[in-house]
Amino acid sequence: MTAQNENRTMFYGKGDVFVYRTFVQPLTGLRKIPESSFTERDNTIFGFNCQISLKGEAFLSSFTEGDNSLVVATDSMKNIIHRQAANYQGNTAEGFLKFICEVFLDKYSHIDAVELTATEVPFDHVLVPKGEGHENSDVVYRCSRNERATTTIEVKRTPTGSKIVKHSSGIVDVHLIKVKGSSFYGFIQDEYTTLPEAQDRPLFIYLDFDWEYSRWEDGTGADPEKYVAAEQICDIANTAFHELNNRSIQQLIYHIGIRILERFPQLANVQFKTNNRTWETVVETIPNSEGSVYQEPRPPYGFQGFVVTQEDVKQKKAADSTVGASR
Ligand SMILES: O=c1[nH]c(=O)c2[nH]c(=O)[nH]c2[nH]1
């Protein structure tokens, strides 16, 4: 392999590969945390939008010479994902992706690495009458418009077997509004400043999170005690937002990240991407009411990116104990 080729960006694959399997074995035995009532995922509908990329030096001639002799058609990639979904024995997206990556590496010896991302297609139970009350239907589900769990994994062939070189789990499009209990003041005031300081604003945020396990094995669900469900991560974010009188989105995401990593020491880090979608005030005071009238914010929007690691948890603990000791 020449030095130039070693670092060349070269991949091809298939996107929007939707795959649905019903009645996958439920994920149970998760560790219970105080922020969440989520204890199991029933997996009645195990549905994902997948994107797969194949990588390998052997594909160079398909680009440079139009030689398709080693090309696995992207149409075949889609078929492999569909048919092999029936053979997956586990119950998590992470485990499913690893299983599929290994199918490709085992079947085609000229593939060097497989990168696979899955975004959940989420379904919620609908409620149906039971006696005087209601219960979850076990056959009818509603496609949810809310947040979606995501997973990415890259498995590479090495002389000693396949190796996971990239893995993360996440959730995208979490949209949360806190109607009071958020401020934003104390920022630079100069000739460019027009934004008024806010002691209390209706903070509307869009959040995408990703988290990495220190040991990828913990993310497969083989030991459910070590597995972290996206639902639990969301519940921690909801709780932190509820409890913290936040001074900015920056401060909020740091707190969410610390709380997630304290609850789940098996995670190495949490990565945030957030947008500020705070509503714009139209009528500030309404007689005899605590409320106001708002409209959608006008573009452009603000954003933040931040990674919280277990080192941050350690440093915060040390700083908190110093403050505690000096009191
Ligand atoms: O939480 C916020 N952080 C900022 O950095 C910022 N900047 C801004 O105009 N509004 C906000 N809100």
User: In this predicted structure, what is the pLDDT of residue 1?
Assistant: 55
Q: Give Cβ neighbours of residue 34 (< 8 Å, ≥ 6 apart).
A: none
74 CB near ligand 1 (under 6 Å) = no
Prediction ipTM score: 0.99
User: In this predicted structure, what is the pLDDT of residue 110?
Assistant: 97
Please identify which of the residues 14, 55, 98, 156 carries the catalytic annotation.
Answer: 14
Residue 65 lies in a domain: yes
Residue 6 lies in a domain: no
Q: Show the low-confidence residues of the chain (pLDDT under 70).
A: 1-6, 326-327
**Which residues fall in the annotated binding site for urate?**
74-75, 184, 201, 250, 276
Q: Which of 178, 182, 184, 206 is the best mutation target for the ligand 1 pocket, counting ligand atoms within 8 Å of the beta carbon and taking the most?
A: 184
User: In this predicted structure, what is the pLDDT of residue 5?
Assistant: 65
Phi/psi-derived region of residue 56, left when phi > 0, alpha when psi is between -120 and 50, beta in every other case? left
Domain interval for residue 20: 12-168
Centre of ligand 1 to C-alpha 144, Å, is 30
Torsion sign over Cα 28, 33, 38, 43: negative
Instruction: State how many domains the chain has.
Output: 2
Is 14 noted as a catalytic residue in this protein? yes
261 and 164 belong to one structural domain = no
104 and 175 belong to one structural domain = no
User: In this predicted structure, what is the pLDDT of residue 3?
Assistant: 58
Is 74 noted as a catalytic residue in this protein? yes
Alpha-carbon Rg of the chain, whole angstroms?
24
User: In this predicted structure, what is the pLDDT of residue 325?
Assistant: 72
Closest ligand 1 atom, residue 203 Cα: 1
Residue 3 lies in a domain: no
What are the pLDDT digits (tens) for 88-144?
A: 999 999 999 999 999 999 999 999 999 999 999 999 999 999 999 999 999 999 998
User: In this predicted structure, what is the pLDDT of residue 2?
Assistant: 59
Which of 131, 152, 168 terminates a domain? The answer is 168
Closest ligand 1 atom, residue 247 Cα: 1
Report yes or no: 76 and 103 within 8 Å, Cβ to Cβ. Answer: no
User: In this predicted structure, what is the pLDDT of residue 4?
Assistant: 62
Report yes or no: 46 and 21 within 8 Å, Cβ to Cβ. Answer: yes
Which residue's CA is the nearest one to ligand 1's atom 12? 248
Which of 168, 190, 216 terminates a domain? The answer is 168
64 and 193 belong to one structural domain = no
